[in-house]
Amino acid sequence: MIRTILKNTACIALLGTALGGCSAVDRLENIGQAPKLSPITNPVMQKGYQPVVMPTEQAPPGPRAANSLWTPGSRSFFHDSRASHVGDILTINISIADAAKISDTTSRSRANSDDANLTNFFGLEDELQKALPNAADPSSLVKMGSNTSNVGSGSVNRSENVNLTLAGLVTQVLPNGNLVVNGHQQVRVNYELRDLQISGIVRPEDITSDNTVSLSQIAEARVSYGGKGQITDMQQPRYGSQVFDVLMPF
C-alpha cells in the first residue's frame, strides 16, 4: 500500500514537473479561449528594451537672423506635420519581396597506383627469396593502389513576399536628429493571433509629406511577423520531439 502511494506521488511529481517545464499549464488554462491581446504599454518601459546608442554628431544651431520669419533648423517654411519628437506617430510601409536561388555541385576524384620491383640488387635478391620463400617475389615487391571520390551538391530556393502597413511610435531622438521608431500591431481572427513588430532608425528627411516611411529607408530594421493560436500550435512539433531532436546525436 505504501509502495503504491509513493509510486503515484512520484508520477504526479514528474507529471507536474513536465507540465511546468513545458509551459503546458498555461496552455491548459487557455483551452477554449482566444489568445489574449497584449496591453498597450510604453515600449521604453518594456522588459528587455535597450536604448539605441549610435556614433553621432550634433549639428551646431544656426545663427538667428533678426526680422526673419524663418526659424533655424526648420525643414520647411510652414508647420511640419511629420513625426519629429518622442511620442509622435508615423506610418511604416513594409514591403518585402525577396527571392534567392542558389545551386552548387562539387565533384572530386583521384586514383593512385604504385608498383615496385627488385629483380637485381647485387645478387641479394636471391637472399630475400631464401628468407621469405613463399612471400617475396622480387619482380613485384610493392604494389599499392587507392581511389578517392567525393561528390557534393546543395541548393537553396527561397521566396518571401510580405506587404503590411502599421503605425510606429518615435521612442528616441538621436543627437544628429535621426529618429528611433518602434511599432507593434496585433490582430486576432478566429482564435488565431497575428503579431507584427518593427523597430529601427529613420532619417527625418526620409519621412514623406504624408508622414509615411518605407522599410527600405529604415536603418538597423528589425521586423518580426508571427503569431500564436490553435493553427500555429498545430504546426509546431511537440516539446518531446524538439527535445529529442536536440539530444539525439545522429
Domain with 14 in it: 1-28
More confident residue, 160 or 80: 160
Within a domain: 88 = no
Residue 243 lies inside a defined structural domain of this protein = no
138, part of any domain:
yes
In a domain, 2, yes or no: yes
In a domain, 12, yes or no: yes
Lowest-confidence segment of 99-103, 142-146, 165-169, 219-223 by average pLDDT:
142-146
Domain count, the chain: 2
- 84 lies in some domain: no
Q: Give 38-92 pLDDT, tens digit per residue.
A: 777 888 888 888 888 776 665 555 565 666 666 666 555 666 678 888 989 999 9
Is residue 7 pLDDT above 60, yes or no? no
How far is it, in rounded angstroms, from Cα 55 to Cα 204?
17
The most confident of the ranges 26-35, 63-72, 234-243 is 234-243
For residues 117 and 110, is the Cβ–Cβ distance under 8 A? Answer: no
Predicted confidence at residue 48, as pLDDT, reads 83
pLDDT in tens, 177-193: 999 999 999 999 888 99
> pLDDT grade, residue 215 (50/70/90)?
very high
Evaluate whether residue 186 is within a structural domain.
no
Q: What are phi and psi of 94, to 5 degrees?
A: -105, 115
Q: Which residue has the cell 510652414?
A: 78
Specify the higher pLDDT residue, 176 or 55.
176
From residue 208, alpha-carbon distances to 14, 200, 219, 235 in Å are: 59, 17, 16, 40
**Of the residues 88, 122, 155, which one is the last residue of a structural domain?**
155
Q: Does 161 reside within a domain?
A: no
Average pLDDT of 157-183? 90
> Who's near 217: CB < 8 A, 6+ residues apart?
202, 203, 206
